[in-house]
């Protein structure tokens, strides 16, 4: 049973992670020429920064890619720390769209997307058609990888040991710990949430366990952005620190109000299947987190500026 589950599970997960990177790179290549321009133009205030961060993350399908790109732009002084705050908050909302798409059970149609994308990529004469083909192929590979993951865990329904372990994750702290660890290892919160949705589709976990793991994924995803800010300018370090602070405070509040949040998700997802409830929880958590943080942004910005002050220019004596 171990081989029948583990091998296709690893294969599906590797394909899913590769497809995420492939799609993000493809979309970045398509949009890179004007991305810096639009980020600078439409992040004049916090609201437009949040909207811009949301839209760009939806288009690139990777909050980590958007935040790492933002850190790079802050280092290059193309963006200010204040502009970066809005983009980061928007990126947390934008990343939830992929979980909504995954919950639609589109895996069965992945072969159609892969075939269409491959044909455009191979037969397209103009670069624009080849780029569109790469994007469609990337989406198809993502859905097919997740389909393999979902099908591979089917036999686990009969495994009492696995069922007991998953029930133990109803404990919020255990679920958060597992979610953070898995995300730290595979370096993708989207993949972690995608796997949770796949397990939910097979009724292998409860809504409480699914939400707890999702909270952990939000913590684990901070690792790559913190690494990206190491050795950068103080403005860039502040950007990475704000991302950690934003996610950490949101998760702590989520844990303190865990039972109330579960009830809220159940209320807004009445009649929906479990995988859809988990996807809705992902959206609600990040949206509530952003709304909660908006009034506190000036104070948080001031606090981080005090913790990491700007370097003072060295006076040169003649």
DSSP string, 28-53: HHHHHHHHHHHHHHT-SSHHHHHHHH
Please say whether the beta carbons of 205 and 196 come within 8 A.
yes
317 belongs to a structural domain: no
pLDDT bracket for residue 123 (50, 70, 90)? confident
280 belongs to a structural domain: yes
132 belongs to a structural domain: yes
Q: For residues 61 and 32, which has the higher predicted lDDT (pLDDT)? A: 61
pLDDT bracket for residue 257 (50, 70, 90)? very high
195 belongs to a structural domain: yes
pLDDT bracket for residue 314 (50, 70, 90)? very low
Please say whether the beta carbons of 50 and 90 come within 8 A.
yes
314 belongs to a structural domain: no
159 belongs to a structural domain: yes
* Overall domain count for the chain: 1
pLDDT bracket for residue 192 (50, 70, 90)? confident
Please say whether the beta carbons of 278 and 99 come within 8 A.
yes
Domain limits at 158? Answer: 2-307
Summarize pLDDT for 68-122 with one digit per residue, the tens: 778 777 877 777 888 889 999 999 998 888 888 878 776 677 888 889 888 988 8
Tokens standing for residue 301: 């910005």
- Residue 252 has a CB neighbour count (10 Å cut-off) of 12
Give the pTM: 0.79
Backbone angles phi, psi at 44, to 5 degrees: -65, -30
Tokens standing for residue 206: 């409860």
The helix (run of H) or strand (run of E) holding residue 177 is helix 172-186
What are the helix and strand counts (H, E) for the chain? 16, 0
Summarize pLDDT for 222-250 with one digit per residue, the tens: 877 777 777 667 888 888 889 889 999 99
pLDDT at 73: 77
52 belongs to a structural domain: yes
- Non-local (6+) Cβ contacts of 142 within 8 A are 16, 19, 20, 23, 110
Cα gap 171→131, rounded to integer Å: 45
316 belongs to a structural domain: no
């Amino acid at each position: 049973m171990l081989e029948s589950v583990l091998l296709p599970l690893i294969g599906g997960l590797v394909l899913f992670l590769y497809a995420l990177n492939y799609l993000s790179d493809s979309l970045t290549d398509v949009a890179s020429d004007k991305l810096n321009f639009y980020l600078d133009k439409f992040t004049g205030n916090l609201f437009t920064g949040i909207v811009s961060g949301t839209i760009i993350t939806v288009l690139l399908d990777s909050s980590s890619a958007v935040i790492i790109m933002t850190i790079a732009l802050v280092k290059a002084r193309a963006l200010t720390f204040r502009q970066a705050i809005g983009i980061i908050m928007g990126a947390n909302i934008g990343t939830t769209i992929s979980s909504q798409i995954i919950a639609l059970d589109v895996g069965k149609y992945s072969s159609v997307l892969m075939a269409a994308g491959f044909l455009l990529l191979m037969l397209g004469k103009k670069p624009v058609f080849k780029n569109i083909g790469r994007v469609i192929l990337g989406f198809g590979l993502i859905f097919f990888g997740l389909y393999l993951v979902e099908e591979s865990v089917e036999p686990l329904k009969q495994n009492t040991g696995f069922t007991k372990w998953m029930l133990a994750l109803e404990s919020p702290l255990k679920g958060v710990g597992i979610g953070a660890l898995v995300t730290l290892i595979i370096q993708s919160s989207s993949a972690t949430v995608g796997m949770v949705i796949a397990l939910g589709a097979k009724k292998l976990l409860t809504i409480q366990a699914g939400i707890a793991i999702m909270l952990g994924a939000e913590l684990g995803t901070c690792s790559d952005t913190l690494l990206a800010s190491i050795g950068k300018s103080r403005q860039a370090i502040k950007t990475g620190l704000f991302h950690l602070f934003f996610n950490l405070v949101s998760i702590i509040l989520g844990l303190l109000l865990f039972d109330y949040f579960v009830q809220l998700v159940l209320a807004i997802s009445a009649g929906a299947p479990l995988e859809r409830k988990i996807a809705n929880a992902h959206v609600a958590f990040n949206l509530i987190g952003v709304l909660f943080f908006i009034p506190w942004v000036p104070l948080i910005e001031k606090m981080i500026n005090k913790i990491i002050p700007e370097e003072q220019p060295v006076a040169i004596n003649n």
